[in-house]
Chain A
Amino acid sequence: MSNAQWETISNQAVAAAGVVYFLALLAHLVQWSALRKVPVGSVARRATGAVGAAARRAIAGESPQGSAVAVLEREPADVSRRVAMFARLALLLTGLAVGLHAVALLGRGMAADPNRVPWGNMYEFTLSGTFVVALLYLVFYRRLGLSWLGPLVTGFVVTLLMVAVVWLYEPVAPLTEALNSTWLVIHVVAAIIATGAFTLGGFTSALYLLKARAGDRPAGYLARLPELPVLDRVSYRLHAFGFPVWTFAVLITGPIWAHQAWSSYWNWDPKEVWAFITWVVYAAYLHARTTAGWKGRNAAWLALLGTATLWFNFIGINYFSTTSQHSYAAPEVGTSVVVER
């Protein structure tokens, strides 16, 4: 296949993935709106926990025999069936969309001459970042029981994909010379994976804060989220996964590559500074979770602060600062340097 064909495939796959993510979002919305008919109070004020757990499993699309009976006692059968069906449909659609998303990335890499990893500009970074968010959601779906995160993840990914296509799109182009390195693969993969995990952790922390704010009588979506300690723990696990990966990306591979390309392993370049700030904030988050007076709410705020610095660094700093050697927003040409004496 020619490069132009690959590029077309990539563009079409992005569009298709966007549509399927959107359908998945719709399926999630149907799923959650169907649940409105299930009395929420039974979840929030439950004493035994049986109905709450059953409703939660129904949301997750997993209806073990025993709990399905509990649901049936309280709800019309068709509601619980609809909830389970749409939950499964949404998960299926998300999986399909992630597959299409992968095709889009592959096409992007194959369209370049010579073939390369698709991480050369903001459009490609955004495409990869959202892909990893969706992929990690699927990977951790069962392990951490993330079904309740579905609407947020699909909504977020579809929004960012639109932003990427509308504002960030750039035709496939060869890499600038400094980017042409194996460290591009290692450094950027690690950075993007950590970004995905931190983003999911940020969602969880935001939901934690919203639910904590709603107090004892949360309504609607919030009422059906896992209990606060579970949200806190899921958030911690995502961050505990992301933090070492981020350390690897920012403090090991980044400096090694910087040393090779720019002759100095740490330059206090704005992108480096913000990666460092993000690292420190997440380090503070991990500490805060074990410190009296900082547990829970304050730690969650720190996680949100971390997500904010992360995404500001990912997108914002490219437009904000022109000194950054990482500034991919405006393609930098050649390696010329103006010297003054």
Chain B
Amino acid sequence: MTTTVEPEAPEAPEPRPRDLSVRELARWIWRQLTSMRTALLLLLLTALAAVPGSLIPQEGVDSLKTSRWQDQHPTLTPIYDRLGLFDVYSSAWFSAIYLLLMISLVGCIVPRLGVYWRALRAAPPSAPRRLDRLPAHASYTSEQSVEEVLDRARGVLRGRRYRLADGDGAVSAEKGHLREAGNLVFHLALLVVLAGFGLGSLYGYKGGAIIVVGDGFSNTLTSYDDLAPGRLFDPDVMEPFTFTVDDFSAQWLYTGPRAGMAQKFEAPLTYRTEPGAQEEHYDLRVNHPLSIGGTDIFLIGHGYAPVITVTDGDGNVAASGPRPFLPTDGRTFRSFGVVKAANASPTQIGLQGELYPTYAFDHDHGPYSTFGEALDPFISMTVWTGDLGLSNGTPQSVYALDTAQMTMLKKDDGAPFRVDLRPGESVELPDGLGKVSFDGLQPWVRVQISRQPGIHLALGGVIAALLGLLGSLFIRPRRLWVRARTGEGGTLVEVGGLDRTEGGDPADEVAAIVAALRGEPAPDRPGDPQREEPEA
């Protein structure tokens, strides 16, 4: 389709159907849909339709940014939402455009498959009467007989991988059928890519989980912090693997233009592909996912989990262990988190506040972090008492405190009571509520786990498309004829060539064949690139 000249309908518009039967109408619509011009318009429409998704935040790409944008634009949001502009690439109108494009493509390609099949089996066409009217032609007189010349021509052309047919005193030759094959393969492969992509988004899933170093993960729905399943995703296909994050390390840069950046993130894992299987090890790194069956595990983030112990008024431990805090600043890893001590008595206790991996304080900014590495960690949290709201059955985030039914502890002067601690320190809560201690810091990693069925189909499809494309762009379909007849001074040999691609120039080929027929070395390719230009 790319360069072969379309057997396009003439410029005159199709007669509009009036009083036509349903069948004729359907036929008319089909012809319109599969015309090259429609395909072109649909292509441009696809490009245009893809634009809004890059300008408006997309639910599926960055949901946090999307909800923030929606909060800032209360009037536009309902309109955009109705138009599907927050999820352009799965919206009805976007799907409609690319499905129409695919239908148009099938409509273009299927008839051409038949044409191609017939052309493939047909013999090269017989020689035109006047070879000297072809775009490239040459003639010379030979001492050899007609049969000798034609025999030699057959040998030469076969050596140049032409398909041959004999005519009356002439040899017809043809090659380059692969161009159209490439063209067909390219277009069919696009359907394969779409199928692979569709399989992935229907049956696949993508989920994330935060795992504190030392903890394990087992691949079941409940282990995920967030999960984006495809519409037809079946949890039964999830691979039954488990793994433990043994360690996490990163290399922080202290100097240079990127000071404060970290590199070489590495999280050694111990994993089993299924319960009871052999234990294996893998160093999970950015750009180096771990594949288990059809599922891939990626390292995509990291952070800190302060180990905080809450001892209640009775002296019992009400909460302990590492609590992942989520970075609110990607550079300095200033992080936010909560602790919920539901079993504390006399009242439930909640803590919420920030962690500063490298603590600093000044009067303009208050407390902040100067560096992402935990060089001087410090937590500063407020204390809440009352009902944590865990018992009413509604699911709650483990990263946020529901303070609706809680009150903040205050000091006598009315300022909030703050738990400000460095590792190893502890503080007594007022009113005999208990004690909070900050025992240390554990790193956590965020892994993304995804299963994308059809990924190899899509990859294979796009590689086939590329190969087909190369064929359709660079293979030259050619027809050549050699005719010999007895003339006055010997045998008159004529060679004519035709290149059916636009701009194709078979002159070199004709010259080379003439040279081979006469037994000369092939002529050099003339250097003037504008030689092809038809003079005046």
A binding-site residues for B, Cβ under 8 Å:
46-49, 53, 56, 62, 142-145, 170-178, 180-181, 183, 226-227, 229-230, 233, 236-237, 240, 243-244, 247-248, 251-252, 255-257, 259-270, 273-274, 276-277, 280-281, 283-284, 286-294, 309, 317, 320-323, 331-341
- Pair count A-B, CB < 8 A: 249
Of B36, B262, B264, B399, which contacts A339 at CB under 8 A?
B399
Beta-carbon contact of A56 and B530 below 8 Å: yes
Cα distance A321–B58 in the bound complex, in angstroms:
12
B interface size (C-beta, 8 A) = 98
Among listed B70-78, B448-456, B490-498, interface-contacting one: B448-456
Beta-carbon contact of B257 and A173 below 8 Å: yes
Classify the interface of chain B: helix, strand, loop or mixed: mixed
B256 within 8 A of A: yes
Beta-carbon contact of A243 and B469 below 8 Å: yes
Beta-carbon contact of B462 and A336 below 8 Å: no
With A144-B529, A259-B455 as given contacts, are A171 and B263 in contact (CB-CB < 8 Å)?
no
With A49-B536, A267-B61 as given contacts, are A334 and B5 in contact (CB-CB < 8 Å)?
no
| A-contact 0/1 string along B191-224, CB 8 Å cutoff | 0010001000000001010100000000000000
Q: Could you show 14 A-B contacts with beta carbons less than 8 Å apart?
A: A177-B262, A178-B287, A244-B470, A263-B450, A264-B452, A270-B54, A287-B2, A291-B6, A334-B333, A335-B299, A335-B300, A339-B208, A339-B326, A341-B399
Contacts of A176 in B (CB 8 A): 258, 261, 263
Beta-carbon contact of A180 and B469 below 8 Å: no
With A49-B536, A243-B469, A247-B466 as given contacts, are A170 and B459 in contact (CB-CB < 8 Å)?
no
Closest to A56 in B: B530
Contacts of A288 in B (CB 8 A): 40
Beta-carbon contact of B452 and A289 below 8 Å: no
Of A143, A280, A334, which contacts B302 at CB under 8 A?
A334
Beta-carbon contact of B262 and A290 below 8 Å: no
Beta-carbon contact of A331 and B265 below 8 Å: no
Contacts of B8 in A (CB 8 A): 291-292
B51 within 8 A of A: yes
B289 within 8 A of A: yes
Beta-carbon contact of A171 and B53 below 8 Å: no
Beta-carbon contact of B2 and A280 below 8 Å: no
Beta-carbon contact of A49 and B301 below 8 Å: no
For residue A26, give the distance in angstroms from its CB to the closest CB of chain B: 26
Of A277, A337, A340, which contacts B50 at CB under 8 A?
A277
Of B89, B206, B328, B330, which contacts A268 at CB under 8 A?
B89
CB-CB nearest 9 A-B residue pairs: A145-B529, A337-B301, A270-B54, A263-B298, A263-B448, A341-B397, A273-B54, A280-B47, A173-B257
With A273-B54, A284-B44 as given contacts, are A290 and B301 in contact (CB-CB < 8 Å)?
no
Classify the interface of chain A: helix, strand, loop or mixed: loop
Of A48, A286, A309, A339, which contacts B3 at CB under 8 A?
A286
Contacts of B265 in A (CB 8 A): 177, 335
Cα distance A268–B63 in the bound complex, in angstroms:
13
Contacts of B530 in A (CB 8 A): 53, 56, 145, 226, 230
Cα distance A334–B400 in the bound complex, in angstroms:
24
With A49-B535, A252-B462, A263-B450 as given contacts, are A337 and B300 in contact (CB-CB < 8 Å)?
yes
With A170-B257, A244-B473, A293-B37 as given contacts, are A265 and B452 in contact (CB-CB < 8 Å)?
yes
B508 within 8 A of A: no
B43 within 8 A of A: yes
Beta-carbon contact of A263 and B289 below 8 Å: yes
Cα distance A248–B296 in the bound complex, in angstroms:
24
With A142-B529, A240-B473, A331-B261 as given contacts, are A337 and B446 in contact (CB-CB < 8 Å)?
yes
